[in-house]
Structure 1
Amino acid sequence: MTIETQKVVARLIAPRQDVPASFVVFLVAIPLSLGIAVASGAPVAAGLIAAVVGGIVVGLLGGSPLQVSGPAAGLTVIVASMIQTYGWQATCAITLCAGALQIALGACRVARTALAVSPAVVHGMLAGIGVVLVLAQIHIVLGGTPQHSALENLSELPGQLVAHHSAAVLIGLLTIGVLLAWERLPFRAVPAPLVAVAFATAVSWLFAFDMPRVDMPGGLFDGWVFPAPPDAPLADVLGAIVSVALVAGVESLLCSVAVDRMRPAGVARSDLDRELMGQGAGNLVSGFLGGLPIAGVVVRSTANVRAGALTRASTVLHGTWVLVLALSCGGVIEMIPLSALAALLVALGLRMIDRSHLRGLRPHRETWIYWLTLAGVVVLGLGEGVLLGMGLAACLALRRLTRVSVKTEQRDGRWHVVVSGSLTFLGVPKLVQELQDIPAGVPVDLDLDVDFMDNAAFDTIHTWRLSHERLGGKVDIDEVHESWYENAVTGEASPSRKSGAGVRWWAPWSRRDRDKDPALDVASPREVLLAGVREYHGRTARLVRPIMVELAQAQTPDHLFITCVDSRVVPNLITASGPGDLFIVRNVGNIVPRHGTRVHDDSVMAAVEYATSVLDVKTITVCGHSQCGAMAGVLAGGGEVEHLPHLSNWLRHANHSLSRFLEGADLDSDLADGPTPLAGLCHVNVMQQLDNLLSYPWLKHKVDAGELELVGMYLDLETAKVEILDAESRKFLSVPDRVPPVADDDAGATSRV
């Protein structure tokens, strides 16, 4: 089967896998869409229309293939308020305009700025909406009517508990009970919300309970009216449009990020700007057709991923199934008791108050923003509560940005002062207090580890330095990052990095500046290692922590990198890669034992097998290097390592490389003439290890099918340059400055062996 045929088959198979996933999402979406419509005070058909549009329109146009959009519980409070204030036709017009605003924002490529909103504010907002939703819907479960505000609902709740004991209470409690019980059963092929609502509906029908039910007169679009502009001040209308656009947009983008963390291998990451425009198109269409506002929904998206969806076909099909149901089963929908839908939303609202988010906020001391945002949404309203939370988060960020640390200590007759943080006029009083405590005439080392210094701070330090030196002292100023002080003294317009300061992390321990810690010159290797760990904790850990939190869930590298244990070869340095990029195998001589070799060793192929079969890496790279001690031992016939039995045994795997080198068939003429035979063997060894990989039939099959690419690399230690093996010429060439673009249909079709 050709590679092109395989790709066509893959495109045909993917939708087959998406069909059952679409049914699962469809079953989840139906009760939630109906419940959200009822809770918003909108026509029941509006929830179904939004589900159809969210599935088909956003599914086709959005930038997140596996995200499912539709009516969202997070928008219930906003929509209910708009319907009460402006009426349903005007609410549709506001939804339409909010969609147009989202399209404009996506076209301006500002989607990622929405992710700058503090998670404490976002989670606090969703929790506050959950509280408001629960307080409103529990009145319906009890057989009563919700009030206009959360506080009124709270104050009326005791009376509802005492006064109402109708069949609606039984159906509501039954719905919640089935929902909780079904989720704890080992078999959950049918989603719990559908089971709970269907069971409650069946009970109410069998016992002929007289209670309010879903009212869906006519067909899906029978009650459609053209959206009408609100009869209200322009400022109020614009505020409503912006509220819908931003809340729905932020919720959708955060959902896209969450889905990206769950996506299976081979599914592309979300394009957030495209997703925002797709959400805008969905809201524009939904508003025009008389549907609720649309947003990406975590519950349905999670169900979609867990059900095995691989493409956007699942999302589109789920919208199609909702459309078919709405057009053909209106009578069945009208049998559903309102108390069952209300109970479903009570459970959903309680889940929105997810206290697990507090675990991530607590180490950063941001839980108080969460609670105050929640309280603001409940007491003041959604918009006011979110603005309160954003204001508090901004004040906290400003405080942190302007916080400065000044530490002083006396050591070896010198005073050491370390200033870190952002040094502005707000930190001047603290800085002056510490500097004034230093005795006159003593030598001072002043380390400025600051990311910003304003004029007031510079003037304070410079004035103190001049004064201290006039009294016989000496001040040595060392700037760790950018030369704010030096540039201010010399009058340069903008700060420039000190030579070597910005790349200090890659320098060997022996080349580090030991002036700050002379004890390291005589320290044991263990102490030097621990000093490096301390530096990592102080400088780097906080920077990589967000990345590591995401990677802690799973690793998804695309590259397997096989190289030598030589300490001079640093794979992440020569490939400019970071955590999670390379799955690395290191051994003496970057050797891959051949299939069926008499000197048995499974360690290398165990890693290759895991990387290709479990991690689904797309590239295997074998990287050799100059001055390789292993190849020097092989070239000397093994005599130099006879006293090392384990190493001697391992180097037998390189005999094929030595034979190939001595034959000279694949040796570049430039290497054959010089500089040394060792360099030639090091190059040939890379070629041989790539051939050794192909000696495994299952691996060769992957390469021939275009599923895997083999790459040969060579690091010249003297020049610090990396060369790559060219497949056609069998020569190692310099890496080009830019890789020419490759068409998608041809990508991965050849192997650089």
Structure 2
Amino acid sequence: MIPDTKSTRLSTLRHDVPASLVVFLVAVPLSLGIAMASGAPLAAGLIAAVVGGIVGGALGGSAVQVSGPAAGLSLVVVDLVQTYGWRATCMITLLAGAVQLVLGVFKAARAALAVSPAVIHGMLAAVGVIISLAQLHVVLGGNSQRSAVANLIELPGQIADLHGHKVAVGLLTIGVLAVWTRLPKRVKVVPAPLAALVAAAVTAWAFGWEVTRVDLSDSVTHWAFPVLPQGDWHLVVAAVLLVALLAGCESLLCCVAVDKLHGGRRADLDQELTGQGVANMVSGALGGLPLAGVIVRSTTNVRAGARTRCSTILHGVWVLVFAIGFGWTIQLIPLEALAALLVFIGVQMVNLAHIKKVHGHGEVPVYVVTMLAVILLGLAEGVLAGLALAALLALRRLTRVTVLKHEERDGRVQVTISGSLTFLGVPRLTRELRAIPHGAAVDLDLNIDFMDNAAFEALHSWRLDHERMGGTVDIDELHDEWYTLAASGGRMFPVKSPPKAPDRWWLPWAHRRRRPVTTPGPAGAECQLTVGAREFHRRTAPHLRPIFTELARKQQPTHLFITCADSRIVPSLITASGPGDLFTVRNIGNLVPRKGSEPHDDSVVAAIEYATQVLGVHTITVCGHSGCGAMAGVLSGGVRAGSLPGLRRWLRHGNHSLARFIETEGDRLHSGALDVLCRVNVQQQLENLRTYRKVDEQVRAGKLELVGLFFDIASARVHMVPPVRPGLSALREDGRTEAGDGRTMIV
């Protein structure tokens, strides 16, 4: 189908153009501030914004992500500028882009998502702290030091020696940024960073304050090609890889986050990494900062209504037009105002929502260690420390073993071992197993997904020792048979196995691998149920507890399910339903007594009234089954009911079904007559339901549907049974209905 180019252009004009203008207004002050924090020429920030918008937007894999200079890379750039100089830093940016391009071509983008988010968030928080401490000195009228610790030590002296006008401009900028989010939406159309810088510039000009002006002498018109860094090439390669990986990870994680904010096409991460690589190569060649996907600008783009990559590209065009035509206005901005903007941005990078999220996953230590290591040691060292701690914690979780012991009333000891059995868990495993009394009968459940040789040897040795001391050990494996394979000398699986359903819960007791222990006599069934309940508590309840916790407040079933009391019919199994879905009524023959019929019965009627008038079910289903003993009793005229007077009285409610069957079948009794009667009975019970006024009214109003089902036990198949309509006779032996004109309908 050929797209409507006219409607596409109109959509771009309506949504993407306004969004691009909003992002442009946010991008300019942020780009200048990040360039300042990076120790680079201010024009480098604008160049990176232009390239990120035009090149990154055109070639990237996300339709709405905005790329540009990123605060998270500023520490790396500062160190590179101080070590190699600005032009060599541009070459490192260019080479880092080439590395990203190669990684994108070889489909390596997904590997970046393996980095723990706690490490990334901790790194960004540390960068925010360092930027805030450094730029706070500029706000106070001084100069920032080389390290965060030095900035912190020098801060009291800087506060004591305040520079009035410069401090006032900085405080004014921070005040506008803080207040702006609380203003009406009409005012917040102007981005807060732009409003803060304009307010600071106008105020400083109006009152003639003595402030430091932004120096844009090295404008975009002065360009020199990057040069190769001089020094140890090992360190240069490490710098290139650091810039490539940090920028790539930040871009890809931002891409994933932005995908959650819009309903358009999902991002292609490999294409995004390739686009970022090309953009960094161009930015480095033109003298711009290294760039990455930036969450602030990307979020602004989505919230402003962007639909396509046109918004990202246009924002880069607007930055270019501004830099060439109106770049002189930047020199009106006080340097202290840019520093205050960076202080504010740095504080926001310590995101409390991120801390809460990593706390929920037990990764606060990774976050804290990464942040402190970056602040005290450096960016690369801090990231490596965070990755190492994250790997150790992951290894600890993956190798965690739980051993639960429970002594039954008959003296048997129930032991459940869960987790991954590796050599790291052997000490605890052996300690717990050796605490079991000698001679005890042990039921050992292995709820594990991996077992290495050390764990097998420890478990097997304990089993042999325990049996030698007169005890017994019955091992049951809930997943793949790791112990059985190892004991038989078979080849072990190379990786963890996916979990299987615990012990095939749907099978009858007689078909289980290990039957519940019962005592002979009348109490046998009760003991079997008790053992089954304990099995439910141990294996199934933990999976279903969240569902039952929610259902405990209120039941909201959508179906009333009326079926036979036959033990072979399991409603939730044959309908694939779960807890809370079916409001179930079971009786002999799945009968619904007609209104006013004798013998009088309120049980079924009460359930129907409650389901339709209180619970508000949408469907009432009557389900019969093959070989129904109740219908056999009806077909025999009550003879098969024998000396069971209560059953004979109850089966009178099936006389209408028998009458309908005789009317259609006559005297032709055949081998399949019973199942035909079972199907006719379902149809008759659907008719009986409509003898109740409320049910009939809801059916006529379309608020309630009556459905008939027939379960063929031998084939384990569920068939639809249509209600009787005028002109249709009852069901034939082969499961079809005959219409008055001789046509047949498969049901």
TM-score normalised according to structure 2 size = 0.73
Q: Distance in 2 between matches of 1:505 and 1:171?
A: 71
Give the structure 1 partner of residue 416 of structure 2.
Answer: 418
Larger Rg: 2
Match of 2:529 in 1: 522
Match of 1:262 in 2: 261
Q: Say how many residue pairs are matched.
A: 612
Q: In structure 2, do the counterparts of structure 1 residues 504 and 226 end up closer, same or farther at CA, with 3 Å as the change threshold?
A: same
Match of 1:535 in 2: 542
Cα separation, 1, equivalents of 2:456 and 2:494: 16
The answer to whether the aligner puts 1:133 opposite 2:192 as a matched pair is no
Shift of 1:392: 1.2
For residues 94 and 576 of structure 2, what CA distance do their matches in structure 1 show?
52
One-letter amino acid matched to 2:543: Y
Residue 408 (structure 1) aligns with: 405
**CA distance 1:526–1:494, change in 2 (3 Å):** closer
Work out the CA distance in 1 between the residues paired with 2:373 and 2:5. 53
2:689 to 613, 636, 641: 641
Displacement of 1:163 in angstroms is 1.6
2:141 counterpart residue number: 143
Say whether 1:365 aligns with 2:362: yes
**Contact 2:32 2:338 (8 Å CA) reproduced:** yes
The match for 1:305 is 302
Q: Identity of aligned pairs, percent?
A: 48
- Matched with 1:318 is 315
Please give the alpha-carbon distance, in whole angstroms, between the structure 2 residues aligned to 1:338 and 1:627. 84
The CA deviation string for residues 249-275 of structure 1, in whole angstroms up to 9 with x for no partner, is 111111112111211x3x012221211
Superposition deviation, residue 662 in structure 1: 7.8
Change in 2 beyond 3 A, CA 1:63/1:642: same
| Alpha-carbon distance between aligned partners in 1 of 2:503 and 2:473, rounded to the nearest angstrom | 26
Residue 158 of structure 2 aligns with which residue? 160
Residues 607 and 68 of structure 1: CA distance in aligned 2, closer, same or farther (over 3 Å): farther
Equivalent residues in 2 for 1:23-102 (5 A)? 23-102=21-100
Q: Does 1:395 find its partner at 2:392?
A: yes
State whether residues 15 and 311 of structure 1, in contact with CA within 8 Å, keep that contact through their aligned partners in structure 2: no
Q: Which residue of 2 aligns with 1:333?
A: 330
Secondary structure of 1:33's match? Answer: helix
1:89 is displaced (CA, Å) by 0.6
Cα contact 1:361–1:367 (8 A) shared by 2: yes
Task: State the Cα distance separating 1:626 from its structure 2 match.
Answer: 10
Match of 1:438 in 2: 436
CA shift, 1:351, in A, is 0.4
CA drift at 1:134 = 0.5
In structure 2, distance between residues paired with 1:505 and 1:662: 50
Give the conservation status (yes or no) of the 8 Å contact 2:624–2:682. no
Q: How far off its partner does 1:369 sit?
A: 2.0
Q: CA deviation at 1:563?
A: 10
Residues 676 and 407 (structure 1 numbering): CA distance in 2 closer, same or farther, change over 3 Å? same
For residues 407-463 of structure 1, give each alpha carbon's deviation from its aligned partner in whole angstroms, at most 9, with x where no partner exists.
222113211111111212222222222222222222111111122111111112112
* Matched ranges for 1:493-508 at <5 A: 493-495=491-493, 502-504=500-502, 508=506
Measured in 2, the distance between the counterparts of 1:172 and 1:516 equals 77
Check conservation: 1:46, 1:291, Cα contact below 8 A. Answer: yes
Deviation at 1:655, TM superposition (A): 9.5
User: Are the counterparts in 1 of residues 132 and 346 from structure 2 also a CA contact under 8 Å?
Assistant: yes
- Match for residue 226 of structure 1? 225
* Alignment partners' CA distance in 1, 2:207 and 2:617: 63
Structure 2 stretches lacking a partner, 5+ long: 518-525, 548-557, 562-570, 585-612, 627-678, 708-720
Deviation, structure 1 residue 564:
10
Shift of 1:380: 0.5
The answer on whether the counterparts of 2:75 and 2:379 sit within 8 Å (CA) in structure 1 is yes
Residue pair 1:62, 1:279 contacting (<8 A) in 2 also: yes
Match of 1:191 in 2: 191
Q: Secondary structure at the match of 1:472?
A: coil
State the superposition RMSD in angstroms: 4.2
Range that drifts further, 118-127 or 346-355: 118-127
For residues 339 and 469 of structure 1, do their structure 2 counterparts lie closer, same or farther at Cα, with a shift above 3 Å needed? same
Q: Give the direction of change, closer, same or farther, for the CA distance of 1:500–1:261 in structure 2 (3 Å limit).
A: closer
User: Which of residues 317, 342, 345 is equivalent to 1:348?
Assistant: 345
Aligned to 2:168: 170
Is 1:462 equivalent to 2:469 in the alignment? no
Q: Closer, same or farther in 2 for the Cα pair 1:355/1:500, shift >3 Å?
A: closer
SS in 2 for 1:481: coil
Residue matched to 1:485: 483
Task: Check 1:678–1:501 CA distance in 2 against 1; reply closer, same or farther (3 A cut).
Answer: farther
Post-superposition Cα deviations, 1:298-343, rounded to whole Å, max 9, x if no partner, equal 1111111111112111111111111111110011111111111110
Answer whether contact 2:57 2:312 (CA < 8 A) is retained.
yes
Q: Distance in 1 between matches of 2:727 and 2:206?
A: 89
Question: How far is 1:503 from its partner?
Answer: 3.8
- C-alpha separation in 1, matches of 2:224 and 2:494: 63
SS of residue matched to 1:451: strand
Single out whichever of 639-648 and 304-313 deviates more from structure 2.
Answer: 639-648
- Cα 1:112–1:167 shift into 2, 3 Å: same
Distance 2:161 2:83 in 1: 30
Partner of 2:177, secondary structure, is helix
CA distance in 2, matches of 1:314, 1:637: 64
CA distance in 1, matches of 2:527, 2:498: 20
Amino acid in the other structure paired with 2:253? L
Which amino acid in structure 1 is aligned with residue 257 of structure 2? A
Q: Secondary structure at the match of 1:334?
A: helix
CA distance in 2, matches of 1:355, 1:181: 19
Cα distance in 2 between the residues matched to 1:625 and 1:637: 7
User: Are the structure 2 counterparts of residues 643 and 659 from structure 1 closer, same or farther at C-alpha, using a change threshold of 3 Å?
Assistant: closer
Q: Is it true that 1:16 corresponds to 2:14 in the alignment?
A: yes
Aligned partners of 2:403 and 2:515: how far apart in 1? 16
1:494 partner SS: coil
What is the deviation of 1:172?
Answer: 0.7
For residue 216 of structure 2, what is the aligned residue in structure 1? Answer: 216
- Superposed displacement of residue 635, structure 1: 4.8
- Equivalent position amino acid for 2:215 in 1: D
Instruction: Show the counterpart of 1:242.
Output: 241
1:219-259 CA-to-partner distances (Å, cap 9, x unmatched) read 52x22111111001111101111111111111111111211
TM-score by length of 1: 0.73
- Amino acid paired to 2:280: N
Q: Does 1:427 align with 2:413?
A: no
The alpha-carbon deviation at position 193 of structure 1 amounts to 0.7
| Secondary structure in structure 2 of the residue aligned to 1:356 | helix
**Could you say which residue in structure 1 is the equivalent of 2:268?**
271
Q: What is the CA distance between 1:157 and its match in structure 2? A: 1.2
> 1:453 and 1:230, CA in 2 relative to 1: closer, same or farther beyond 3 A?
same
1:591-645: CA deviation from partner (whole Å, max 9, x where unpaired): xxxxxxxxxxxx9xx999xxxxxxxxxxxxx9x999899x989954842324655
User: What is the 5 A alignment of 1:375-390?
Assistant: 375-390=372-387
Rounded Cα–Cα distance in structure 2 between residues aligned with 1:365 and 1:59: 36
Deviation at 1:537, TM superposition (A): 6.3
**2:735 alignment counterpart:** 676
Q: 1 CA distance for matches of 2:35 and 2:178?
A: 23
**DSSP-derived class of the 1:467 partner:** helix
Deviates most, 100-109 or 340-349: 100-109
Select the residue among 277, 280, 289 that pairs with 2:277.
280
Amino acid in structure 2 at the alignment position of 1:151: V
2:735 maps to amino acid: T
Distance 2:438 2:531 in 1: 36
